[in-house]
Each structure stands twice: as structure tokens, then as C-alpha cells.
């Protein structure tokens, strides 16, 4: 089959990471690739595209994926595209493949009655963010088109008349959720390769909700990068919050996909707090009788820094956490052996609510200054580490040397520098603390289900604040 793949890419620095290169090289076995990037590629990355044999279009960063696909289609032209038997619109938000692509292409080639097909589907839902009623549709990260569709006037009118989106939401409304029902209503037939009909009443977005299931049991060759950094509050509203962790376990244990290289890339473009929550970068340490490691042998340095004074109770628990960390240092160091991308490890914020509140207040005060100095996104949430004026630092995460660290601002800045270098900061706690944290969460969930209890607690907090002013 003569096939054309239009591969959309975006990176703020113009870099093509390993995951993109793997995807491009994989689909090149099945068709000619046109690499379309929103923005200018870095010189070395432009050379890579040329040497790979792919065509290349560099364009202004407008219109998101919709603008990129439209420009590529109109640039190639209707007459030239008519020479192909299949056109695939694919984008960089997919990572993989984690298995051979041939079974997918053979299975769909055996269904010539389809006018267009995709990798996965999103089921119907209500969403004010995306225009109200979202219809069932093929997800736009991988969309295959056949001649009866792309040689017709309907197809070209669709692209020529579409206003370019100015936001992610507009891109979803104007193209992703519209394409499938628009052409289905005109009599074109469609389906997806990955079959998830049995999940229709469970998950509206299976590739995000249960990626391991799709990869391991349903033959899906790709997963979404966004699985690793999606807003965690959204995950907890629709899943048990373990999707990314289970996905990573499968990739490490059952595939040869270089997950760590993808994580290094994401550390440079995504807030650490989002990655940390989805991947559960919080570690449990044992007691002194359990496995230990020599921090010096591992190239680790213990750094202490001063914390601002808060209230007496918060200060007490923070000092206790730092003292306990001293006793657990050799057990904590073991995690640097297990996690090659771990750059900084410190105690978790103590469970006393005042400690988290004090950290958030300081973060809000320092965030703007930190962002002005950082080479990575800072985000709205406080970094997961360092905390409590104590941290173990992997010296190799700082090729230019470890900067001086005298206060919490300096400590967060160290974490952001490590992140820009492809290493992450994380926290640790004992098993007893982990159990207590779960019990506290259960208590909050129980209280949240009782409005009167919530109102009573809120009244207590207000009274406490007024008394301490």
C-alpha cells in the first residue's frame, strides 16, 4: 500500500526527542513521512529529519495540530495526495511503538470498506470545557484516511473552511471531536483498531484511563505522553490514580521502550509536581536494620539549609522530620541506586496541616522569582522536594557544580536546576508515615461527604486564624 504519514511535532526549543524519533522511524517502514513542526527546529534536529529521509515543513506556531495538518495537506496538494492509497495524520503526543506495527496495518488493510480509521476512540460525554455534548469520535493523535474520503470535495472543504484554533480547547472542538461525526453524517464509514466497546460504560477515554490494559491485552502500539503528567485531580475523578504508575511498570518490565529517555524529555517541558503525582515519586524507607547504602560511595552530598520561622507547632514537626531524616540517611540513599533519574531526595512535608500550609504560602511568595530563573516550567503547585531544611543530592545531577544553598528559595532553585538537567526531586517517608497519610486522606474523604462536618471544621479554622492575628 502506498501510504503517506503527516507527522505533527511541537517542542518549544525546537528539539526532536528520542520518543519522536522512535515513532517516526517506526512508521517510515510503512510509508513516506512528512515531518511538520510548529516553530523552527534546532540545527542538529533539522539535520536529523533530513538524514532520516522524511520531508520537512517548519511553520509558524499557530493553529496547533489543526494548522499543521491543514498546511501540510494544502502544501502537498490535492493532485499529489491522490496518488496515495492511505494518508495518516499522526502527532507527537503518542509515544511508542512498544510492539510491531505490522499487525495493526495488516488488520486494518483487511477492512477495505472503511473510509477512515483510527488507533483509539473517545466515548460521548458532557463537557462544558469542550463545547457541551462531546460525541463519540476517533482520537486525533492517529487518524488514517482513504481515497474515497480524501479525494472528495467534502474533505477539502472541511480543511479550507475551518478557522484555525487559538487554544487547545478550540482545537478539540473544531477538529478532534468534530471530524468523525462530520464525515460519518455524510455517509463515510469508520472504526478504530483498538477495540474498547466493553469499556464504553466504564471509561470515556480508555487510552488515558487504563493504558496498560490497552498495551498489554488489546494490541495498542502507542500510549499518550500526557498519561505521565495529566492534572492529577482529573485522574482521581475518573480513575484510581494508578494509571501512569502501572503503565511505567509495564514499559520497564515487558518492553524495550526507553522510558527513562522520555522522562528526561518531559522533565524539561512539564512541571515537576504534575509528573511527581502521576508517577508517585514518593518513597518509603525502612528502619536502620534494613538495607543501607553509603551516600558518599553513591556520589551523594547532604545539604542543610535554614527555614523561615513559622508557628511553634509547625517548627516543631519540621525539626522532628529533619532529625528523623538524619537517622534514615543510609536507607534513603538506597533509592538513588534504584532510580537513576533521582537527583534530590528529602523528607516529606510533615503530616501536620500547618506544615503544608506554611510551605504553600512560601511557594506562592517565591514562585514568580523562581520562574524567572528557571529553565523549566515551575507550575502552580509547590515542588515535592526539598523540604524540612534537609536533602540528599546526587552530585552528577549538577555537571556545573552544586550551587550554594542557604534557604528554601535556594533549595527549590536547586531542584529546578536538576530538573533542567534531566533529574527529579522527590520525598521519602517511613512506612508508618505512609499509613498515617492514607488514614488522614480517608478522614478528609469521610468529612467531605458530611457537609455539616465540613462547615464546623471551617468555622474552627476561621476562629483559630482570628485568634492568632
Domain locations along the chain: 3-209, 272-436, 439-468
280/370 Cα distance (integer angstroms): 24
Tell me the fold of 3-209. Spore Coat Polysaccharide Biosynthesis Protein SpsA; Chain A (3.90.550)
49/11 Cα distance (integer angstroms): 14
227/379 Cα distance (integer angstroms): 17
What is the model's pLDDT at position 289?
53
359/70 Cα distance (integer angstroms): 47
Q: State the helix-helix crossing angle for 408-420 and 353-373, rounded to 10 degrees.
A: 60
Digit-by-digit pLDDT tens for the chain (469 residues) are: 999 999 999 999 999 999 999 999 999 999 999 999 999 999 999 999 999 999 999 999 999 999 999 999 999 999 999 999 999 999 999 999 999 999 999 999 999 999 999 999 999 999 999 999 999 999 999 999 999 999 999 999 999 999 999 999 999 999 999 999 999 999 999 999 999 999 999 999 999 999 999 999 999 999 999 999 999 999 999 999 999 999 999 999 999 999 999 999 999 999 999 999 999 999 999 765 567 889 999 999 999 999 999 999 999 999 999 999 999 999 999 999 999 999 999 999 999 999 999 999 999 999 999 999 999 999 999 999 999 999 999 999 999 999 999 999 999 999 999 999 999 999 999 999 999 988 877 665 565 556 665 566 556 656 555 555 5
Q: How many residues does the chain have?
A: 469
Stretch (H or E) spanning 58: strand 55-59
Identify which of 21, 58, 99, 8 has the alpha carbon closest to the alpha carbon of residue 265: 21
Identify which of 121, 118, 128, 138 has the alpha carbon closest to the alpha carbon of residue 203: 121
367/385 Cα distance (integer angstroms): 14
What is the model's pLDDT at position 457?
56
Around 120, how many Cα atoms within 13 Å sit in the side-chain half-sphere?
A: 26
What is the model's pLDDT at position 292?
81
Identify which of 45, 166, 180, 188 has the alpha carbon closest to the alpha carbon of residue 114: 188
First-to-final CA distance of the chain: 75
Identify which of 46, 64, 50, 76 has the alpha carbon closest to the alpha carbon of residue 8: 64
What is the model's pLDDT at position 441?
72
DSSP string computed for 338-386: H-TTEEEEEEPPPSSHHHHHHHHHHHHHHHHHHHHH-SS---SSPPS--
Place of cell 507547632: 313
What is the model's pLDDT at position 438?
83
Amino acid at each position: 500500500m502506498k501510504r503517506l504519514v503527516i507527522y505533527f511535532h511541537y517542542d518549544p526549543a525546537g528539539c526532536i526527542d528520542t520518543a519522536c524519533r522512535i515513532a517516526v522511524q517506526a512508521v517510515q517502514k510503512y510509508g513516506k513521512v512528512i515531518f511538520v513542526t510548529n516553530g523552527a527546529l534546532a540545527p542538529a534536529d533539522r539535520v536529523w529529519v533530513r538524514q532520516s529521509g522524511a520531508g520537512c515543513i517548519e511553520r509558524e506556531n499557530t493553529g496547533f495540530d489543526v494548522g499543521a495538518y491543514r498546511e501540510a495537506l494544502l502544501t502537498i496538494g490535492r493532485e499529489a495526495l491522490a496518488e496515495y492509497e492511505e494518508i495518516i495524520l499522526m502527532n507527537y503526543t503518542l509515544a511508542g511503538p512498544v510492539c510491531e506495527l505490522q499487525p495493526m496495518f495488516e488488520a486494518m488493510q483487511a477492512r477495505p470498506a472503511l473510509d477512515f480509521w483510527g488507533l483509539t476512540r473517545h466515548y460521548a460525554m458532557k463537557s462544558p470545557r469542550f463545547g457541551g455534548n462531546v460525541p463519540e469520535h476517533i482520537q486525533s493523535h492517529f487518524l488514517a484516511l482513504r481515497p474515497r474520503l480524501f479525494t472528495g470535495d467534502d474533505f477539502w472543504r472541511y480543511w479550507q473552511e475551518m478557522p484555525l484554533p487559538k487554544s487547545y480547547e478550540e482545537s478539540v472542538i473544531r477538529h478532534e471531536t468534530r471530524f468523525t461525526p462530520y464525515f460519518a453524517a455524510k455517509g463515510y464509514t469508520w472504526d478504530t483498531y483498538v477495540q474498547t466497546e466493553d469499556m464504553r460504560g466504564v471509561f470515556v477515554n480508555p487510552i488515558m484511563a487504563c493504558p496498560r490494559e490497552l498495551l498489554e491485552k488489546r494490541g495498542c502500539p502507542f500510549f499518550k505522553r500526557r498519561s505521565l503528567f495529566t492534572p492529577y485531580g482529573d485522574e482521581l475523578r475518573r480513575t484510581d490514580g494508578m494509571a501512569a504508575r502501572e503503565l511505567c511498570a509495564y514499559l520497564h518490565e515487558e518492553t524495550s521502550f526507553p522510558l527513562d529517555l522520555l522522562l528526561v524529555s518531559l522533565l524539561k517541558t512539564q512541571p515537576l509536581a504534575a509528573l511527581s503525582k502521576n508517577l508517585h515519586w514518593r518513597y518509603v524507607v525502612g528502619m536502620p536494620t534494613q538495607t543501607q547504602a553509603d551516600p558518599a560511595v553513591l556520589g551523594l552530598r547532604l545539604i542543610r539549609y535554614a527555614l523561615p520561622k513559622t508557628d511553634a507547632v509547625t517548627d516543631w514537626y519540621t525539626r522532628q522530620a529533619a532529625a528523623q531524616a538524619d537517622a534514615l540517611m543510609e536507607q534513603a540513599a538506597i533509592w538513588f541506586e534504584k532510580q537513576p533519574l533521582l537527583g534530590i531526595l528529602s523528607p516529606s512535608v510533615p503530616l501536620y496541616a500547618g506544615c503544608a500550609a506554611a510551605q504553600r504560602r512560601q511557594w506562592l511568595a517565591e514562585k514568580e522569582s523562581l520562574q524567572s530563573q528557571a529553565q523549566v516550567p515551575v507550575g502552580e503547585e509547590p515542588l515535592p522536594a526539598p523540604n524540612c531544611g534537609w536533602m540528599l543530592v546526587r552530585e552528577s545531577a549538577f555537571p556545573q557544580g552544586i550551587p550554594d544553598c542557604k534557604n528554601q528559595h535556594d533549595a527549590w532553585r536547586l531542584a529546578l536546576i536538576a530538573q533542567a538537567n534531566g533529574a527529579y526531586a522527590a520525598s521519602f517517608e517511613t512506612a508508618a508515615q505512609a499509613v498515617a497519610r492514607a488514614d488522614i486522606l480517608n478522614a478528609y474523604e469521610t468529612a467531605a461527604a458530611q457537609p455539616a462536618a465540613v462547615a464546623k471544621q471551617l468555622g474552627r479554622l476561621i476562629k483559630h486564624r482570628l485568634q492568632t492575628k
